[in-house]
Structure 1
Amino acid sequence: MASLLYRLGRFAYDRRWLVIALWLVIIAAVGGSAAAFHGTTTNTFQIPGTETQRMLDKLKADLPSAAGGNATLVFESPDAPFTDAQKKQLSAALEKIKGLDGVQSVTDPFATQAQLDSASAQIADGEKQLAAAQAQLDAGKPQLDAAKAQLDQTKAQLDAGQAQLDAQKQALAAQGMSAAAIAQATASAQAQLDAGRAQYDAGKAQYDAGAKKAADGAATIAQKKQELALGQRQADASAGLRFVSSDHRAAIAPVQFTKSTDSLPTSLRTQIQDIASSVDGVQGHASKELTQDINQIFGAGETIGVTVAALVLVVMLGAFVAAGLPLVMALVGVAVGVGGTIALTGVIEMSSVTPMLGLMLGLAVGIDYSLFILNRHRNQLLGGMDPRQSVALAIGTSGTAVVFAGLTVVIALVALVVPGLPFLAVMGVAAAATVAVAVIIAVTLLPALLSLVGKHIISKRRWAKAARENTQPGHGVVEAREDLAKSNRGWGAWLTRHPWIAVVASVILLGVLTLPASQLHLALPDGGADPVDSTSFKAYDATGKYFGAGMTGPIVVVGELPAGLDDAAAKVKQLDVADQLRAVPGVVAAVPLALSPDHHTAVFRVIPTEGPASASTVQVVHDLRSQGSAIQSRTGVSIGLTGQTAANVDVTSKIADALPVYLAIVVGLSFLLLLLVFRSLLVPILATAGFLLSLGAAFGSVVAVYQWGWLGPVFDITHPGPILSFMPILLIGILFGLAMDYQVFITSGIRESYAHGQEAHLAIRTGFHHAARVITAAAIIMVSVFAGFIFSHLTMVRPLGFGLALGVLLDAFVVRMTLVPAIMRLFGKAAWWLPRWLDRILPDLDIEGAKLERATAAPHGAHVDGGGQPEPAADSVR
């Protein structure tokens, strides 16, 4: 590896314009692709194959109007209740918003609240009217019964008279009287009977009409009673739901869109917010879904972080050219890595954190990797080495350490595919690609630019000092003695003299910081995590204050109704399910929202007691799912949960389950890599154990600050809450990779001294002395870059930036530069012990570059090239 990189560095040095041109082409191609093909990022986290996703897909198929994104507008009049004029203006404004392209519907809070408020009165009035109608019906029933009895009696009399007359006619016929005579003799009696029959028929018709009217009235009363019962059940289901506060100082207007909120154009977001804030005397606040700007990835905090890194580089390197090179390398890496990520947003759904994570890592490792190589090159130049040879050798030695350090980061990030969450896998692969680009740039573009700047990489003052030192007699011996003397002073020397104190103090410090980690509570962020002066926080706060925190995170329940139901039966089923949902502990209201045209799919909005990130709401989600079979057995309706609140619970649970497996894979693979690099059993074990200590301390500190609120004013945390659910797995992956970076850098220095023949304890001192300055600068730079994200405009990135900044700080200075060297001092030579059988089968990667340096050392009388410089005898590494 070292020989290959040596040749690569020399090629880049000799073919600098070709290498620079290739990178310029790559930057132009990536930039053009990002501009032409970029899409939008998302803050909606879904898990394919879960109930949440299945129910969302069902809504898209059966009820497309209910499948779009949702947001909330909150109107507040803190000084006085809304006036009638303000209500009219707000209703007109909402009607205007409803007419915007992309808006599915808008709920007018005043009209809706008026309906809710009048529901009880309407039901009571209806009950009174039904009671009066029933009383009237009951009062007319005796008359109908008497009329029927009289009709029955008249009919019986008529039937009896007719029978008697018919018998008389038969008797006259038996006496031989003709039919005409019989008819004449009975005509009068028959006429009387017919007249009576006609009178009866008229009475019967009158009675039938009255009876029908009474029956129709009874049917109407029964129908009205059923409607009132349904209305009462609907009112009961909505009892805990309000759209205008009881003091009439706040109103909430849900807005539904035709597409997801993440795909809303900025122009629509701006229009809605402008219209919502156009009413005089009323404060209009838009919820997080409308206000979050997830397409901007670089803000003021990040700029400050990079500025601090630049200052550290200037102070360390003492020359603006030298300080600028690592920054240029980092920016090129970010341009290519993050630009490529943005170009793919048009075809791959990505979280808004994805490009931000690439930016964060690209800046940090891009600066550090280049600095590590640059520092080696500067030292070699000051020692009198030819620039061409120095660049190639720096790439072959320090570049090898950079490659393996970068490989550990890439392994940790690519392993994010393990949890099976697409958004997390994309995030990890994209960030890994950015880190890989940073490594490639460090070993190709950096040597090409170093060939251009030449000796300007070192300040004139430093060159003058080196010239004076190099002209002194016996300079080499003096320099070696001074180097040894310096290594016997300072922190590294103290560690080797007092290793037990260093070990015990480090473990105690990290252990104490780890204690809060046992209280870690994970969730996805809501508006309460935003800055207090933001519109989204004001909307969240006003909603909780006036309507209850549960209104900030409703749970969407989808019901599958039995086939063949008519409209009335389907509505009854909806209310049956709503009653069951409302009976779940922690549920304030369960309101039927929509019903598909085929009466097969119903949608319910369930309002929990607390906000979406609270532990009680998570429990409500679990309880609703556990009650699904019972609800189906009682109502015949199967239910499933969807919406952002349910999806957040799924994501959090899935990540928590995957953490142990992910940690085992990352640690296992990196252990093998470190075993190959350092050919030692203790060093990989120390590296892993130290990482676990720094990781625990980072977790504990994040919990104390962002969950408990310690030092809240310092970090702009006014409402502490749960930690971003995928922050731990990102922190594990990124911090492990970066911890291994510093492990590789400092241990390679110690290994190099040991490989060059020094005793184990002296190798720790000299290796520490040579590596400490650059590692200190690199750690400060990385901490500065990460710390810049603590005040990012994307609030979900802030705890990650804090955790990474503190984690790197602790890992670099407490673990890698204190604990590890101290323990290695206690083990002495045994720190480099490796079983013989394992030593034979492991390839020798020569990360410290000892073999390369011997192979490339210029012998006495070496060939001099046309430029008057000695040509290195490097044919052996060709």
Structure 2
Amino acid sequence: MDRFSDFVLRHRLLIGLVWLAAACAGAFAVTRVPDRLTEDFAPPGSAARDANAAILAAYGTGGDEKPEVSVVTLPAGTTADSPGVRDALTKAFAAGGERLGARVVSYGTTGDARFTAGGGRVVYGLVYPRVEPGASEIDDGPEPAGPLAEAMRPHLPAGAGLRVTSMGGLADEAGGEGPSVLTETLIGGLGALVVLAFVFGSVLAVVPLVIATVSILTSFLLVYGITGVTDVNFMVQFVVALIGLGVAVDYSLLLVTRWREERAGGLSADAATRRAMATAGHAVVFSAVAVGIGLVSMLVMPVEFLRSMAYGGVIIPGVSALATLTLLPVVLATMGPALDRIAPRWRGDGARAGRAWTAWARRIVRFRIPAALAALAVLGGLAFAALGMNLGEPHSGALAKSGPAYEGLAELRGAGVPTGVLTPVDVLLPPGADPAAAASELRGLRGVHAVAAPGGGMWRRDGSALITVVPVDEGGTDAGKDLVKAVRDAVPPGARVGGEAANDIDFAAKVYGTFPYMLGLICLLTFVLLARAFRSLLLALKAVVLNLLSLAAVLGAIVLVWQQGHGSDLFWGISATGSIAAFVPAMVFAFLYGLSMDYEVFILARLREEYDRTGSTEAAVVEGLGRTGRLVTSAALILFLAFASLAAAPIVEVKIFATGLGLGILLDATVVRALLVPAAVSLFGRWNWWLPGWAARVLRVPPSPLPQPDGEDRVPVPV
């Protein structure tokens, strides 16, 4: 690192110009990236994805695109079987279908009484709008509910009411518009500035934000290049902007804090920069690698959208670390002293450990066993809640609480229609199969409300046929997924079963089926990395185990807050979702595994340094936590603010993802790093620092013999 620091400081102008050029090019890329993003979540090669693609290719409707559900309420004294009513309903649904180029199934086309309710006064139908090639939910196309209702109303009986609902409409009403990526980033940046101003008390607080801005813009430039060779999911823009803000500021905060500490010790700006690079710079490198290892899990998963998320996830910590280790030293060596003098400082100058955190560390050392048990109780309780996680799309009742789609849903429920009608299952029969026989077989399955197999060009094409299965329970429920599995078993050979629930089933099987092996590999790589960084087997093992426990606790918190609704309604006005989107646990794991390891590296690297200096575990805990506690807390608060901003996104799944990241950062920085880690290090004593010769040879670092028991008393620590 010394030679690298010398190179950076010798070529200050060149480094500054290179980063300026990259940031300018990135500013151009930011405006172009959104137009090149996709929204495909299904795993390639899965039965559901192939079925949905085949249905859309042949019929242009359905598949995993859920229908609009038109709900007609007839005037008092009128039912679906009243004279002329069925013909009027048939014309109304036909007009709506013609307006949207849609496939329609209703009482008028089937004569099936299951498409009526409330004694025949409420009649509903499924209208599958035509899906244009390449269209997605992130396209700004017109909503189909308005044109559909406009086309149907003139043909309905006089006095009839009409409402249109759908899962898409409910989700839109629940999420609202939401701020843009730029707005969310600015909100997160403003919060970060407030925290940094409190930490530094000088204009130096702006420097980490400058590094973050350059890192984010450069990362968007690289993402722009990747979109030219492969599909990239639209969520990457949120990941790069907001995780980039947090990570870049974290790395910068670590290096700047150490630079100020060395400056307070009497070193010049250049010398302090070199010393900070030699200590904190190593921690930044190991932290970036740890984040990258966590994201390797998504790079090798057989799901395109997860791999594209990993591209952005690997880019941002790498670019942030590079900017921190090249551009930031240049800024500190040239302008750092002036920036640190421009405004008066009300915080300490870094020469001494923080008093509050030192006092806290002494209490942890004194009450190490109760502290460890309390932290384990919190984490264990949350982790237990994770066992009840149900993977699937949110239930309809968890979405909108007002609006036209909500009113349509309320009308359906009031009439006793099961909400499973919002998530029907399409079955594509091969040429030669008998639609009537297949439909009859499917009607006998438990959990089926209705089965429709009309004739006509929208349901029969090139020898194939479509059947729509209307379930009792929504696809995101356990019963809904069980029905999809039963339909797959009951359809004739060669038939394909589509729908969003089938997508979720295949996604979970592909991603989580091999996840334990992936997890084992990632933990092994992390263990080797940390054992080499800390020159300790026990510290590395403890870091991996506590990270896994922390992640399990985060998943449990997601279940409590969102799936069970203990907080989602209070903060976001969204009721219990009943399930969690299938991709959320994998993404939360991949990002949090590395992000939370940041704090582990920050704290343990300093503890190792203090132990090497003093030879006392207790002194290392007190001094190390005293010097890193405020840093870790500030860094965690900045990341939390970034994720809180992300939680304002209009998409429920993004809210859940952001909530998981935010809760994970808070849990990790408080219960784990501020309580459990120092308590555990204090409990393990001299065994923390042991690295036998054979392991040292494998890791290519100096060995660390097991200290003698009396070595713990070389530097007494008042408690």
| TM surpasses 0.5 | yes
Question: Among 631, 634, 637, which residue is 1:777 paired with?
Answer: 634
1:434 aligned onto 2:316: yes
**AA partner of residue 115 (structure 2):** L
- How far the C-alpha of 1:641 sits from its partner, in A, is 1.0
Q: What's 1:330 paired with?
A: 212
Q: Please identify, of 304-313 and 289-298, the stretch whose mean Cα deviation from structure 2 is larger.
A: 289-298
Give the Cα–Cα distance (whole angstroms) in 1 for the partners of residues 578 and 671 of structure 2.
29
Paired residues of 1:305 and 1:784 also in contact (CA < 8 A): yes
Contact 2:198 2:347 in 1 (8 A): no
1:580, distance to aligned residue in structure 2 (A): 0.9
> How far did residue 720 of structure 1 move?
2.8
Residues 325, 273 of structure 1: alpha-carbon distance in 2 compared, 3 angstrom cutoff: farther
Letter in 2 for 1:310: L
Tell me what 1:550 maps to: 420
For the residue of structure 2 that corresponds to 1:369, the secondary structure is helix
Tell me: CA distance 1:799–1:54, structure 2 relative to 1, closer, same or farther (3 Å).
closer
Post-superposition shift, 1:623? 1.1
Instruction: Output aligned runs, 1:743-754, within 5 Å.
Output: 743-754=600-611
* 1:820 is aligned to 2:677: yes
| C-alpha distance in structure 2 between counterparts of 1:769 and 1:383, whole Å | 17
Q: Which residue of 2 aligns with 1:269?
A: 142
CA contact (8 A) 1:487 1:766 kept: no
Structure 1 residue 23, shift from structure 2 partner: 2.0
Q: Is the 8 A contact 1:70 1:256 kept in 2?
A: no
**Residue 129 of structure 2 aligns to a residue in which SS?**
strand
Give the direction of change, closer, same or farther, for the CA distance of 1:462–1:727 in structure 2 (3 Å limit).
same
1:558 positional shift: 1.5
Matched residue SS, 2:632: helix
Secondary structure in 2 aligned to 1:522?
Answer: coil
Counterpart code for 1:613: G
What corresponds to 1:3 in structure 2? 2
1:359 aligned onto 2:241: yes
Pairs within 5 Å for 1:613-692: 613-628=476-491, 632=492, 637-692=493-548
Distance in 2 separating the partners of 1:621 and 1:579: 16
- 2:452 aligns with 591
TM-score by length of 2: 0.84
2:710 match: none
Query: Matches of residues 281-296 of structure 1 in structure 2 within 5 Å?
Result: 287-288=167-168, 291=172
Consecutive unaligned residues of structure 2, counting only runs of 5 or more, are 155-160, 704-719
How far is 1:367 from its partner? 1.3
Q: Does 1:105 align with 2:102?
A: yes
- Asked if the contact 1:543–1:551 (Cα under 8 Å) also holds between the matched residues in 2, the reply is no
Equivalent in 531, 549, 555 of residue 693 of structure 1: 549
Could you tell me how far apart the structure 2 residues matched to 1:382 and 1:79 are?
Answer: 80
What's 1:512 paired with?
Answer: 381
The aligned counterpart of 2:717 is: none
**Kindly tell me: are residues 67 and 248 of structure 1, through their superposed partners in 2, closer, same or farther at Cα, counting changes over 3 Å?**
closer
Q: Secondary structure at the match of 1:747?
A: helix
**Normalising to structure 1: TM-score of the pair?**
0.70
| 1:317-354 alpha-carbon deviations (Å, 9 max, x no partner) | 112x2222222222332223245435644653333333
Alignment of 1:252-263 (within 5 A): 253-259=127-133, 261-262=135-136
3-state SS of 1:521 partner: coil
Is contact 2:26-2:220 (8 Å) kept?
Answer: no
Assess, with a 3 A threshold, how the Cα gap between structure 1 residues 698 and 67 changes in structure 2: closer, same or farther: closer
Match of 1:235 in 2: none
CA 1:371–1:544: 2 relative to 1, 3 Å? farther
Residue of structure 2 equivalent to 1:576: 437
* Cα distance in 2, alignment partners of residues 588 and 296 from structure 1: 40
Give how far 1:613 is off.
Answer: 0.5
Would you say the 8 A contact 2:452–2:469 is kept in 1? yes
CA contact 1:550–1:609 (8 Å) conserved in 2: yes
Is the alpha carbon distance of 1:664 and 1:465 closer, same or farther for their aligned partners in structure 2, counting shifts above 3 Å? closer
Q: Which residue of 2 aligns with 1:15?
A: 12
Cα contact 1:608–1:620 (8 A) shared by 2 = yes
- Does the CA contact (< 8 Å) of 1:514 and 1:698 recur in 2? yes
Query: Which is higher, the Rg of structure 1 or of structure 2?
Result: 1
Match of 1:384 in 2: 266
Cα distance change of structure 1 residues 4 and 603 upon mapping to structure 2, 3 Å threshold: farther
What's the secondary structure of 1:46's corresponding residue? coil
Q: Distance in 2 between matches of 1:595 and 1:277?
A: 24
Q: Contact 2:646–2:655 (CA<8 Å) still a contact in 1?
A: yes
Structure with greater helix percent = 1
Residue 240 (structure 1) aligned to one of 114, 123, 140 = 114
TM-superposition CA deviations, 1:788-809 (whole Å, max 9, x none): 3333212101222222222221
Would the aligned equivalents of 1:516 and 1:701 in 2 still touch at CA under 8 Å?
A: yes
Give the match's secondary structure for 2:363.
helix
- Counterpart CA distance in 1 for 2:460 and 2:54 is 11
What CA RMSD, in Å, does the superposition of the two structures yield over aligned residues?
3.8
Matched letter for residue 3 of structure 1: D
Partner of 1:524: 393
Tell me the residue number matched to 2:645.
Answer: 788
1:87-102 alignment runs, 5 A limit: 98=98
1:139 is aligned to none
Give the counterpart of 2:465 among 602, 609, 615.
602
CA contact (8 A) 1:543 1:549 kept: yes
Give the secondary-structure state (helix, strand or coil) at the position aligned to 2:267: coil
Deviation at residue 730 of structure 1 after TM alignment: 1.7
Q: SS of the counterpart of 2:496?
A: strand
Looking at structure 2, the residues matched to 770 and 662 of structure 1 have their Cα atoms a distance apart, in angstroms, of: 35
Other-structure match for 1:866: none
Matched position secondary structure for 2:378: helix
Q: Per the alignment, do residues 835 and 725 of structure 1 end up closer, same or farther by CA in structure 2, a change over 3 Å counting?
A: same
| Equivalent of residue 420 in structure 1, options 302, 306, 309 | 302
Are 1:408 and 2:290 an aligned pair? yes
Q: Distance in 2 between matches of 1:465 and 1:796?
A: 40
User: Helix, strand or coil for the counterpart of 1:523?
Assistant: coil
Tell whether the 8 Å contact from 1:69 to 1:257 is kept in structure 2 after alignment: no
Cα-to-partner distance string for 1:682-719 (whole Å, 9 max, x where unaligned): 10111112112222221221111111111343232224
Q: Residue in 2 aligned with 1:210?
A: none
Q: Deviations over 1:29-48 (max 9, x none)?
A: 34434545754544442222
Aligned length: 682
Q: In 1, are the aligned partners of 2:550 and 2:672 still within 8 Å (CA)?
A: yes
Percent of paired sites with the same residue: 26
Distance across 1 between alignment mates of 2:7 and 2:135: 48
* Residue in structure 2 matched with residue 53 of structure 1 by the alignment: 49
Match of 2:529, as an amino acid?
A: L
Matches within 5 A, 1:710-725: 710-716=566-572, 717-725=574-582
Q: How does 1:560-571 map to 2 (within 5 A)?
A: 560-562=430-432
Separation (CA, whole Å) in 2 of partners of 1:90 and 1:318: 72
What is the correspondence of 1:104-143 to structure 2 with a 5 Å cutoff? 104-105=101-102, 107=104, 112-116=106-110, 119=111
Match of 2:22 among 21, 26, 34: 26
Q: 1:531 to 1:777 in 2, by over 3 A?
A: farther
The Cα of 1:775 is off from its aligned counterpart by 1.1
The CA deviation string for residues 546-597 of structure 1, in whole angstroms up to 9 with x for no partner, is 54312211111112233xxxxxxx6xx1101111111121112222255555
AA paired with 2:612? A
Query: C-alpha separation between the residues in 1 aligned to 2:476 and 2:445?
Result: 18
Is the Cα contact below 8 Å between 2:185 and 2:245 reproduced in 1? no
Q: C-alpha separation between the residues in 2 aligned to 1:246 and 1:557? A: 28
Structure 1 unmatched ranges of 5 or more? 120-237, 470-478, 563-569, 847-878
The 3-state SS of whatever aligns with 1:827 is helix
Contact 2:64 2:498 in 1 (8 A): no
Matched-pair contact (CA < 8 Å) for 1:71–1:254: yes
